[in-house]
Amino acid sequence: MMPMKMTPMTLWHREQGAHMSAFAGYEMPMQYTSIRDEHRAVRSAVGMFDLSHMGEVRITGPSAKIWVHELVTNDVLQLTPGSVCYTTMCTQTGGIIDDLLVYCESDESMYLVINASRTAEDIAWMQQNADDTIRVADLSDETALIAVQGPSAAAVIGKMGCSPSQQPTPFHFVDMELQGIPVRLSRTGYTGEDGFEMYVPGSRALPVWEACASLLAEDDGRLCGLGARDILRLEAGLRLYGSDMDMTNSPYDTGLGWTVKLGKEAFIGRDALAQIHASDSHSSFVGLRFSGRTIPRHGNAVFHDNVRIGTITSGGFSFSLGYPIATARVDHEHAKLPTYDIAIRDTVETAERVPLPFYRRAQTQSKEESRGK
């Protein structure tokens, strides 16, 4: 068995008494105090996460931007230097290899942020599809990622040395120095709140983390683990690779059809995705609200009239709303039912279909502004 990897902050997390667990090959903090308290801090004030398990890849070459445009489903050509988009990357048959963020550095340099559990597979796929003019550089092991999320995130980043006028707008980034250390500051996140993600050289990440951690208490903030992050992203209707999607699903099966720009002349999987879209043969992705206290989980069966019509993809208790919630993939013809029956352990619970996202912060957001890694 391979030993678990450590982030630059792993020893610090242990010293602070964080509950550590294996995740995507890394030893990661699941929680510091309680998932509920950490969740509430992000919704009401600010929380900070170590996300250094995520993968980072730089694509360079004379046609790097065009190449990435043809690699993924979304429109990358509309990006300008300093802007970001969310997209999926698919196989020739339309299955999702990963969902990711694309950062435009220039026409010759693109920066991709990919899921920790998919890093090796993603990079192998990119290399397989690259020609001699394209260089695929894996920066994952040398890059740390720190997320600051919540209504007070901008205030904390301001105290770190980035004034409001310097802070990027949603789905944009700036390269700058914070605490004398080079940082890529991106206004993205995975919680449904305003927030930032900081990409820092791994060898210099700990001082940035410690400086930011020392400021949290001034804004009623908390250190947060991946447990709180998971329920935050579920409330915001954000997808998780391996739970809500995998290579057997197309973006249309996962409610991500909006990331597929069929008007593009060519990209990997375009013909298959066009056929899926035209045939309307895909599954539907729905939100569910539960009235009891039983918690739905990934893999629970969804029924209608005693016939299985789908599967729960993600589930948990919403601290923001006060009841259990879940997302499910159901047969297209059953997408508009008002209720569904869910088999949870030895019981059957009735769930009401509700719109996604379950939670939306007060400021109006576009789909792109509410999604990040």
Q: What is the pLDDT of residues 46-68, one digit of tens each?
A: 999 999 999 999 999 999 999 99
Percent of the chain residues past pLDDT 70, beyond the cut: 97
- Is it the case that residue 370 has pLDDT exceeding 60? no
Query: Region 283-297: what's the mean pLDDT?
Result: 96
pTM of this structure: 0.95
181-186, strands of its sheet edge to edge? 173-178, 181-186, 195-201, 143-149, 47-50, 222-223
DSSP bridge partners of 196: 148
Helix 35-44 vs helix 226-235: crossing angle, to nearest 10:
50
Percent of the chain residues past pLDDT 90, beyond the cut: 94
Rounded Cα distance, 167 and 174, in Å? 8
Q: How many CB atoms lie within 10 A of CB 139?
A: 16
pLDDT at 362: 82
Query: Region 116-121: what's the mean pLDDT?
Result: 97
pLDDT at 213: 98
Query: What tokens were used for 211?
Result: 């400086």
Model pLDDT for residues 197-251, shown as the tens digit of each residue: 999 999 999 999 999 999 999 999 999 999 999 999 999 999 999 999 999 999 9
User: Which residue, chain included where needed, has tokens 């690699």?
Assistant: 71
pLDDT at 368: 40
Rounded Cα distance, 199 and 244, in Å? 26
HSE of 100 in the Cβ direction (CA atoms, 13 Å)? 32
pLDDT at 2: 75
User: Rounded to an integer, what is the distance from CA 356 to the centroid of its chain?
Assistant: 16
pLDDT at 369: 40
At 364, the pLDDT band (50, 70, 90 cuts) reads: very low
Architecture in CATH of 10-52+141-235: 2-Layer Sandwich (3.30)
Query: Region 169-189: what's the mean pLDDT?
Result: 97
At 363, the pLDDT band (50, 70, 90 cuts) reads: low
Average pLDDT value for the chain: 96
Single-letter amino acid, residue 154: A
pLDDT at 366: 41
Rounded Cα distance, 262 and 245, in Å? 20
At 373, the pLDDT band (50, 70, 90 cuts) reads: very low
Model pLDDT for residues 247-266, shown as the tens digit of each residue: 999 999 999 999 999 999 89
Rounded Cα distance, 303 and 334, in Å? 10
**Cβ contacts of 168 within 8 Å, gap of 6 or more:** 82, 174, 185, 186, 187
Model pLDDT for residues 312-343, shown as the tens digit of each residue: 999 999 999 999 999 999 999 999 999 999 99
Rounded Cα distance, 180 and 164, in Å? 18
Query: Region 7-36: what's the mean pLDDT?
Result: 97
- Is it the case that residue 367 has pLDDT exceeding 60? no
